[in-house]
Amino acid sequence: MPSNTHTVMVTGASGYIAGWIVKYLLEAGHTVHATVRDPNKAKSVDHLKRIADAAPGILKLFKADLLDAESFDAPMQGCDILMHTASPFVLDGFTDANEALVRPAVEGTRNVLNAANRCDTLKRVVLTSSVASVYGDATDMKGKRAFTEADWNTTSSVNHNPYQYSKVAAEREAWKIHDAQKGSAESRWDLVTINPGMVYGPSLTNASNSASIGTLLDMGRGKLKTGVPALEYGMVDVREVAQAHLLGAFKPEAEGRYILVSQSVSMLDIAGMLRKQFGKQYPFPMMKVPKPVVWAVGPFMGPVTRKFISRNVGYPLRFDNSRSKALGVNYRPAADTLKDHFEQVLEDGLVRRR
């Protein structure tokens, strides 16, 4: 693929990860066809317009909806790269997980990629997936040194870890559509998936837009000062995730899946890094809550089931990120990511500066 400028469609362009992708594309001089639910909603698109005004690239906004199969044809026209980032991220507050999460993720992917099949100019699709597509629970790592791109989540369902299930179902649908067109005489586009862990780092709008914000708010406000469960996450900076999308799009040799995790961190690790950066005046937790206590009270504190607790609390989590490093991703230290993110939390007034 030539290294000159491209026309790139980005779905869900107002999102946390997508904002950084659009920024890097525009700064590199590319033309971006950005799809959003409402191009006239200033809160969603003004930051993208400001970036475009200061960058050499060209931004074009389009209205599209994941469940409207025809809405992606117009923005797809003339594009040679598609970055599909749009997917629902809700962990609680719904009564029907299939309707809230799984159907929009799978049907949305199907609708976008069917539009890709109708676009003669498209050459590559980069899909924002997740490590949730690689594993469902920490206990899935039994017998492994670390999760790799060869692993697939087979333990999640609509009833257990429905968000994780929506991600693996959507990615499998993408590979199914890709393989079907690849086997035809009209093979045109190849597929790269980016599978990030828990994404931290500053948002281009405000801190509350990031999916990982809940943990930082709970720690900064003292909700977790009595202690945290022994839970580990694969963590990554949002800026690295965005850069990985560009590497996946423009490096000719990029192919397949890429796990994006800088390192595994526990909730206590996160608290310790924040305390080191911001001082003891904030009520960051200093101890682990014993698993029996988590088991007893966890289900009363949010969307946490005892099945999740039994399969995740107290178990290690490791990821092999060698493929993403070989692609060209350079990971910054987790402490730097958390410092930048919590600083934005303070700037935005979500936690009182002390």
For the annotated catalytic residues, the residue numbers are 167
CA distance 141 to 151: 10
CB-side neighbour CA atoms (13 Å) of 157? 4
Q: How far is CA 147 from CA 20, 144, 173, 219, 330, in A?
A: 27, 7, 21, 28, 19
Instruction: Write out the two tokens for 191.
Output: 């597929």
Q: How far is CA 305 from CA 46, 77, 92, 104, in A?
A: 39, 45, 12, 23
Q: How far is CA 57 from CA 25, 51, 79, 96, 181, in A?
A: 7, 9, 14, 41, 31
Instruction: Write out the two tokens for 83.
Output: 């970055």
* DSSP 8-state assignment for residue 331: P
Instruction: Write out the two tokens for 219.
Output: 């720690």
Going by their DSSP bridges, the two strands 198-200 and 190-196 should be labelled as unpaired
Q: Cα-atom radius of gyration of the chain, to the nearest Å?
A: 20
CB-side neighbour CA atoms (13 Å) of 117? 20
Sheet of 190-196, strands arranged across: 58-63, 31-36, 7-11, 81-84, 124-128, 190-196, 256-260
